[in-house]
Amino acid sequence: MDLYDSRAGISAFLFKKCPPEAVDLAFVLCSPSVSSLQPALALYKAGLTRRILISGGGTAVDG
């Protein structure tokens, strides 16, 4: 197995597309932009979670 095969295997595992399931809490780790919140918001809008917890934050506009 060469490096490319290893990377492809790891990527396939980490980024596997799965249908969303109901969860108690959508946890967003360190959100640098609003677009990174979209998956959690989609779960909320679909009625698949009642709560979203955002940890960390993006860059401050005013420093």
Output the pTM of the full model.
0.57
Q: Tell me the two tokens of residue 18.
A: 């799965």
Q: Per-residue confidence of the chain (63 residues) as pLDDT tens digits?
A: 566 688 888 888 888 888 878 989 988 887 667 777 888 899 999 999 999 998 876 665 655
Amino acid making up residue 27 = F
Instruction: Return the domain boundaries, the chain.
Output: 18-63
Q: Which residue has the tokens 């990527």?
A: 11
* Beta-carbon count within 10 A of 9 CB: 11
Conformation bin of residue 11: beta by default, left when phi > 0, alpha when psi is -120 to 50: alpha
User: What are 55's strand-pairing partners?
Assistant: 29
